[in-house]
Amino acid sequence: MVFSPAITDLEQLKAHPAVAKLLDWNPASVAGARFDRDEMTIFVDRSCIREACALLRDDPSCLFNFLSDVTCVDWFPAEPRFEVVYHLLSISKKERVRLKVRLDGASPVVDSVTPVWPGANYFEREVFDLFGIRFAGHPYLVRLLMPEDWEGHPLRKDYPVEGYR
Amino acid sequence: MAHLTPTPVLEPGQDRTMILNMGPQHPSTHGVLRVLLEIDGETVVRIMPDIGFLHTGIEKTCEAKFYQQVVPLTDRIDYLCPMTNNLCYVLAVEKLLGLEIPAKAQWMRVLMNELTRINSHLVWLGTHAMDIGALTVFLYCFREREEVLRMFEAISGQRMMTSYFRIGGVALEPPLGFFDRVREFAGYFPDRVDEYENLLTGNPIWMMRTKGVARMTAEDAIALGASGPTLRGSGVDIDLRRDMPYSSYEKFKFNVPVRSEGDVFARYLCRVAELRESIGIVRQALDGMPEGPIKADAPGIVLPDREKMKTQMEAMIYHFKIITEGFAVPAGEVYQAVESPRGEMGYYVVSDGTAKPYRVHMRAACLANLQTLPAMCEGGLIADVVAAIGSIDIVLGEIDR
């Protein structure tokens, strides 16, 4: 398995249907793209994520109709600190694409994609629980795994592995 | 730890419904699932799963371990299919490393994975039938499962938490006579599946309890993120082994059972058909098992043989360095998905170039499948909730991680 070096230049990646569709819809929605290890990542502007998901789900050239996963990566102490990661799968085309939204540590809020995929419900609640990202428009944003009275968000990098004593 | 939708506050005068608590110690919840049922007589108005009782913070623990130390943790996520978890994780790290895996190791992985699928489906079939009231099937299934677990013990030293896969290959050469033992099992296992089917498939009580029960449409299943037999039982034809092959699955021939009914019986038929397909893959893996090494030739990543370690200076240095310092993985990120017995299991591994993973996230098939419960059960009877929970084959270890 030898992969060619990562491509980060948006100009070279314009041919990808998902990138092309998003640029066609709203050039400001794509903040960047990266093709690495045969995996496509598109950085989406935080204000556009819900519309971008709906677009990629319904567009006949993309048809990313299945939301595999929603998770988050904390790049503490760098800013913008959080990257919310969406993994989309096209069941008919057997393709995957990864969408990312960058959020700063001061106000980690992003639109929920539950209106697009009801299945995002648990995934977003898990991210809220473990990272403290708030999803605007989520039907029931409460802790999923940790006890309801827990303080802090364990998967943040400034949270010690052993917990607070 | 809370529910899919807010707990209702009942207005006085509107108190037609009542809340019934089921679990977390209820035997039919397959672990520690708590379900709140809002019921109107015998009819379920709303169903609210409550999870998190088994949360151990495995994702956080992974960030504090070396890459090779994460493998045993992955066993503990879905304890009914440890090798599928091992495989998914090592594939992700190997993709980050750009490591080439020898053919024999890949085929061994396929062989062990399908045995794991059989093991997991046997537990599912036994407990699912027991939930609905067919006690005998449980004993029959565990008879065959015992043989699979003994084979796991023979090859890895452990019955359940096998940790048999390594980054770069598999841990050990299979012991003498192992393949003959698997071949013998593959010889009689289809007859045993006939036995289970004789007990259930045409059984009028079984059909009454499962046919037309807990129906889900294909659109609902896709929108809710269901995968695996839960999705294929609703008529969506996708199997990652065939459609996005990994670990040389493209060299195997097998059918993907799909049923369009979307009820408990359809999911049952899908899984039973998968048992037969899996044993077919096991047979193909035995027949075509290539010769060669079981580990990649990557001295800084794969531990050297014990013999070499004791006789060669180089090997000893590598051993020491891997154990004490780990190995650096190039920065990047990978999402690797495999078809686990329960659906799409994905590992999202992010590396920052050091010897410890920056972030490991497991996409649990069960977590998404559990969300389909309201779509299946609301409007149905309480007794059917038990059938529905059994039919999505949940493992709470994977849901809570």
B254-280: pLDDT as tens digits: 999 999 888 999 999 999 999 999 999
Q: What is the pLDDT of residues B226-252, one digit of tens each?
A: 999 999 999 899 999 999 998 889 999
Residues of B in contact with A67 (CB under 8 A): 225
Residue of B69, B258, B348 to mutate, testing the A interface (most A Cβ within 10 Å of its Cβ): B348
The Cα-based distances of A60 to A82, A92, A112, B225 in angstroms read: 31, 10, 23, 20
- Domain A10-109 matching CATH 3.30.460.80: the answer reads yes
Q: What is the pLDDT of residues B39-75, one digit of tens each?
A: 888 888 888 888 888 888 899 999 999 999 999 999 8
In chain B, what's the furthest Cα-to-Cα distance? 83
Q: B28 and B389 in contact (C-beta within 8 Å)?
A: yes
pLDDT higher than 90, residue B282: yes
Which distant-in-sequence residues (6+ apart) come within 8 Å of B336 by Cβ? B88, B91, B92, B95, B246, B346, B347, B349
CB contact under 8 A, B52 and A94: no
Residue written as tokens 């608590």?
B21
Pairing status of strand A39-44 against strand A95-103: parallel
Coil, strand or helix at B266: helix
Interface A-B, measured as beta-carbon pairs within 8 A, has a size of 118
Q: A30 and A22 in contact (C-beta within 8 Å)?
A: yes
What does the buried/exposed string (b/e) look like for B199-210 if buried means 16 or more CB atoms within 10 Å of the residue's CB?
A: ebeebeebeebb
What integer pLDDT is reported at residue B338 of this predicted model? 93
CA distance A20 to chain B (A): 23
Distance (Å, rounded) from C-alpha B381 to C-alpha B41? Answer: 9
Least confident of A79-88, B38-47, B110-119: B38-47
CB contact under 8 A, B223 and A41: no
Cis amide prior to A77 (ω within 30 degrees): yes
Give chain A's end-to-end CA distance (angstroms, integer): 45
Residues of B in contact with A161 (CB under 8 A): 60-61, 63-64
pLDDT higher than 80, residue B400: yes
pLDDT range class, residue B1, cuts 50, 70, 90: very low
pLDDT range class, residue B14, cuts 50, 70, 90: low
CB of A161 within 8 Å of any CB in chain B? yes
Distance (Å, rounded) from C-alpha A42 to C-alpha A34? Answer: 6
CB of B242 within 8 Å of any CB in chain A? no
| Phi–psi pair at A68, nearest 5 degrees | -75, -40
CB of B297 within 8 Å of any CB in chain A? no
Cβ burial of A46 (10 Å; 0-12, 13-18, 19+) is middle
CB contact under 8 A, B60 and A161: yes
- C-beta neighbour count of A9 within 10 angstroms: 11
Question: Which alpha helices (DSSP H) does B244-263 contain, by range?
Answer: none
Q: Which helix (H) or strand (E) holds A37?
A: none
Q: Which long-range contacts (CB under 8 A, 24 or more apart) does B177-183 make?
A: B178/B151, B178/B154, B179/B286, B179/B289, B181/B151, B181/B154, B182/B111, B182/B115, B182/B151, B182/B282, B182/B286, B183/B283, B183/B286
Q: A62 and A90 in contact (C-beta within 8 Å)?
A: yes
Of the candidates A91, A96, A126, which has its C-beta nearest B238's C-beta?
Answer: A91
B247: its two tokens: 């670990």
Residues of A in contact with B226 (CB under 8 A): 119
The Cα-based distances of B121 to A23, B117, B262, B377 in angstroms read: 45, 6, 19, 23
Residue of B1, B241, B246 to mutate, testing the A interface (most A Cβ within 10 Å of its Cβ): B1
B214: its two tokens: 């807990």
pLDDT higher than 90, residue B190: yes
Residues of A in contact with B333 (CB under 8 A): 36, 39, 41
Query: Which percentage of chain A shows pLDDT scores above 90?
Result: 28
Q: B265 and B211 in contact (C-beta within 8 Å)?
A: yes
Give chain B's end-to-end CA distance (angstroms, integer): 13
pLDDT range class, residue A32, cuts 50, 70, 90: confident
What integer pLDDT is reported at residue B256 of this predicted model? 92
Interface predicted TM-score of the whole assembly (ipTM), two decimals: 0.91
Distance (Å, rounded) from C-alpha B91 to C-alpha B85? Answer: 10
What integer pLDDT is reported at residue B12 of this predicted model? 53
CA distance A50 to chain B (A): 15
Cα angle, residue B241 at apex, residues B185 and B114 outer, rounded to 5°: 15
**Domain residue extents for chain A:** 10-109
pLDDT range class, residue B6, cuts 50, 70, 90: low
DSSP B28-82: GGSSS-EEEEEEETTEEEEEEEE--TT---HHHHHTTS-GGGGHHHHHTTSTT-H
| Phi–psi pair at B309, nearest 5 degrees | -60, -30
Q: B261 and B233 in contact (C-beta within 8 Å)?
A: yes
CB of A91 within 8 Å of any CB in chain B? yes
Nearest to B139 by CA among B149, B127, B147, B131: B127
- Please name the residues between 6 and 45 in chain B that touch chain A, using a CB distance below 8 Å: 6
Distance (Å, rounded) from C-alpha A16 to C-alpha A38? Answer: 12
CB contact under 8 A, B225 and A117: yes
pLDDT range class, residue B30, cuts 50, 70, 90: confident
Q: Which helix (H) or strand (E) holds B217?
A: none
B293: its two tokens: 């090494």
If you measure CA to CA, which chain A residue comes closest to B225?
Answer: A119
pLDDT higher than 60, residue B13: no
Nearest to B61 by CA among A77, A9, A163, A102: A163
Residue of B33, B90, B99, B222 to mutate, testing the A interface (most A Cβ within 10 Å of its Cβ): B222
Of the candidates A66, A89, A122, which has its C-beta nearest B371's C-beta?
Answer: A122
CB of A2 within 8 Å of any CB in chain B? yes
Q: What is the mean pLDDT of chain A?
A: 87
CB contact under 8 A, A68 and B4: no
pLDDT higher than 50, residue A122: yes
CB of A123 within 8 Å of any CB in chain B? yes
CB contact under 8 A, B60 and A146: no
CB contact under 8 A, A98 and B335: yes
Pick the CATH number of B58-400 from 1.10.645.10, 1.25.10.10, 1.10.287.70, 3.10.105.10: 1.10.645.10
Of the candidates B1, B6, B244, which has its C-beta nearest A145's C-beta?
Answer: B1
CB of B333 within 8 Å of any CB in chain A? yes
Torsional sign, CA B132, B136, B140, B143: positive
What integer pLDDT is reported at residue A128 of this predicted model? 93
